[in-house]
With several copies, the nearest count.
Chain A
């Protein structure tokens, strides 16, 4: 699945986008984030405070229990600040 990072989360992780293949146990957004946080301190820093993380799956805002599948476009970003 393709993961996009935006704004401060993108800066902390150090990349805008990556393709990942999590294990089959990663079935929803919450589990995906827990899995990502174990990839290193940058991920832990970027995703540690879940109150400041928002998620979109295939460009729709979703909650942590939303399922994820191979082929999904998953975006992680801080709360929007508007234009």
Chain B
């Protein structure tokens, strides 16, 4: 179990191995890495900066993780979220869930990722050829997170 918010990149293999060893009776480890999309054309961004609220972010991520552990039989989990300036291809977030059963690992992982994308206290500033702008909260992601309330 663990939550980290950091400027530095993370070592995906080392983090997954650690979660796998930490859990008891683990049969499968699901994980997700979110990366900065580059893309082409006028919408392409050259960089993004994630701002956060130190202290509150960790609390909220800890709550999300506790909720996942209450809903699925997860034996170990980890959330690592970066902040600061990131360029296309950079890792943003890592979520790892280990369980006896693969279904629980997948569902808890997807639940956490959906939640992080909508509820985690981060603000995104994107840099593109026409300048920089703060990204507005949008509806698609809220819909994805709402799935879990049904």
Taking Cβ atoms with an 8 Å cutoff, the residues of A that contact B are 4, 6-8, 10-11, 56, 59, 75, 77-83
Contacts and interface: CB of A to CB of B under 8 A. Distances in A.
Contacts, number: 62
B51 A80 contact: no
A83 B53 contact: no
Interface stretch (B17-25, B39-47, B130-138): B130-138
B125 A83 contact: no
Which of B34, B53, B82, B121 is the most central at the interface, judged by chain A CB atoms within 10 Å of its CB? B121
A77 B52 CA distance: 10
B119 to A, nearest CB: 7
Given A6-B53, A78-B137, A83-B50, 16 more contacts: A7-B123, A8-B123, A8-B134, A75-B53, A75-B56, A78-B134, A80-B118, A81-B134, A81-B137, A81-B138, A82-B118, A82-B119, A82-B137, A82-B141, A83-B81, A83-B117
A16 to B, nearest CB: 10
A83 B123 contact: no
Which of A11, A79, A81 is the most central at the interface, judged by chain B CB atoms within 10 Å of its CB? A81
B123 A80 contact: yes
B116 interface: yes
A38 B80 CA distance: 40
Contacts of A4: 53
B56 A80 contact: no
Given A6-B53, A7-B51, A8-B134, A80 B59 contact: no
Contacts of A56: 53, 56
A65 B81 CA distance: 32
A6 B117 contact: no
A81 to B, nearest CB: 5
Nearest to B55: A59
B123 A81 contact: yes
Contacts of B138: 81
A83 B92 CA distance: 7
A83 to B, nearest CB: 5
Given A7-B51, A7-B134, A82 B56 contact: no
A80 B134 CA distance: 11
